[in-house]
């Protein structure tokens, strides 16, 4: 079992999440533009609106509401919650180029909710959720994440589950390993099962192979050190010039080519629309 990390104040922590780590591995400059750069006036990060991000966010928030309500809602109430949350991302605020595209993504979201609602009883018992659990890797390197669902199996061990709204299946369950490490260290219970639930096509979660978490923790620590070294050098070079879509899109926003949409004060982000994002 992963032991709890030391509970202490950390000055200038470097937070390592699955998303930020994936950005860094793909391209250090992408990592910088999406995770480190701050607007000079607001101090907030920038984010490019995307139909896929909007869809995923609203579906996840709807399901979290359902779970917090202990499932004591009917299908109409569930759909109404989705539609109300969707209002925040109408049009270009959600990255949609036109009404047709928005309608297509909205229908996909409602279809996923219908699938989830019909099969939610397969989840089992949920343990009380944690708000962005953390684990100190070393010094000021802090692993963190937002786990979709932590279930308790009949033997008292834990099942980590992540809801997926995309169509592509994950080849490497790194995200689940990170969540398993966070769960074990914070709940102090063994994780014995990890799964993805592809809501777009599957009626139940699909179990992934659970490797030794100690080995994954060592690998994550090494990658976190690489990020720390890059921050110290402050060198952010694109490793795929000419074909790195995120780099090009975010740089275009910095060059003033995007359209500001709104500010997300909760997560301290400024949201922009860019046509080809």
Q: Are residues 226 and 141 in the same domain?
A: yes
Task: Give the position of tokens 């480190």.
Answer: 36
Pick the closest to residue 173 from 15, 22, 16 (CA basis): 22
Residue 252 falls within a domain, yes or no? no
- Amino acid 9: pLDDT: 83
Q: Contact, 162 vs 176, CB < 8 A?
A: yes
Q: Are residues 227 and 139 in the same domain?
A: yes
Q: Are residues 118 and 185 in the same domain?
A: no
- Amino acid 8: pLDDT: 83
Q: Contact, 209 vs 192, CB < 8 A?
A: no
Q: Are residues 106 and 69 in the same domain?
A: yes
- Amino acid 276: pLDDT: 73
Q: Contact, 261 vs 94, CB < 8 A?
A: no
Residue 173 falls within a domain, yes or no? yes
- Amino acid 243: pLDDT: 85
- Amino acid 167: pLDDT: 86
Q: Are residues 107 and 165 in the same domain?
A: no
- Amino acid 239: pLDDT: 87
Q: Are residues 141 and 110 in the same domain?
A: no
Residue 101 falls within a domain, yes or no? yes
pLDDT tens for the chain, residues 1 to 277: 999 988 888 989 999 999 999 999 999 999 999 999 999 999 999 999 999 999 999 999 999 999 999 989 999 999 999 999 999 999 999 999 999 999 999 999 999 999 999 999 999 999 999 999 999 999 999 999 999 999 999 999 999 999 999 989 998 999 999 999 999 999 999 999 999 999 999 999 999 999 999 999 999 999 999 999 999 999 899 988 888 889 999 999 999 999 999 999 999 999 999 987 6
Rounded Cα gap, residues 201 and 165, in angstroms? 9
Residue 267 falls within a domain, yes or no? no
Q: Are residues 148 and 208 in the same domain?
A: yes
Q: Are residues 227 and 148 in the same domain?
A: yes
Identify the domain containing residue 200 by its residue range. 134-232
Residue 272 falls within a domain, yes or no? no
Residue 250 falls within a domain, yes or no? no
Q: Are residues 97 and 150 in the same domain?
A: no
Q: Are residues 98 and 167 in the same domain?
A: no
Phi/psi of residue 161, nearest 5 degrees? -130, 135
Phi/psi of residue 144, nearest 5 degrees? -150, 165
Q: Are residues 88 and 152 in the same domain?
A: no
Residue 217 falls within a domain, yes or no? yes
Rounded Cα gap, residues 98 and 120, in angstroms? 33
Residue 6 falls within a domain, yes or no? no
Number of structural domains found in the chain: 2
Point out the domain boundary residue: 232, 256, 271.
232
Q: Are residues 106 and 142 in the same domain?
A: no
């Amino acid at each position: 079992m992963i032991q709890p990390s030391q509970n202490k104040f950390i000055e200038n922590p470097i937070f390592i999440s699955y998303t930020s780590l994936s950005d860094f591995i793909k391209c250090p400059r992408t990592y910088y533009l999406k995770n480190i750069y701050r607007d000079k006036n607001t101090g907030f990060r920038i984010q490019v609106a995307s139909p896929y991000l909007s869809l995923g966010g609203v579906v996840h928030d709807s399901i979290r509401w359902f779970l917090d309500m202990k499932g004591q809602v009917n299908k109409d109430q569930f759909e109404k919650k989705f539609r109300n949350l969707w209002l925040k991302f109408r049009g270009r605020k959600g990255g949609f180029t036109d009404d047709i595209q928005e309608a297509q993504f909205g229908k996909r979201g409602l279809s996923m909710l219908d699938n989830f609602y019909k099969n939610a009883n397969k989840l089992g018992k949920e343990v009380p959720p944690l708000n962005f659990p953390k684990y100190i890797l070393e010094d000021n390197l802090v692993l963190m994440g937002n786990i979709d669902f932590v279930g308790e199996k009949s033997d008292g061990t834990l099942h980590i589950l992540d809801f997926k709204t995309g169509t592509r299946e994950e080849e490497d369950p790194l995200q689940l390993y990170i969540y398993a490490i966070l769960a074990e260290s914070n709940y102090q219970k063994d994780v014995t099962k990890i799964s993805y639930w592809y809501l777009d096509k599957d009626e139940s979660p699909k179990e992934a192979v659970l490797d030794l978490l100690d080995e994954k923790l060592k690998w994550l620590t090494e990658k976190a050190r690489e990020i720390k070294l890059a921050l110290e050098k402050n060198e952010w070079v694109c490793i795929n010039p000419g074909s790195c879509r995120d780099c090009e899109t975010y740089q275009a926003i910095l060059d003033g080519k995007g359209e500001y949409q709104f500010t997300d004060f909760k997560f301290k982000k400024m949201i922009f629309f860019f046509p080809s994002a």
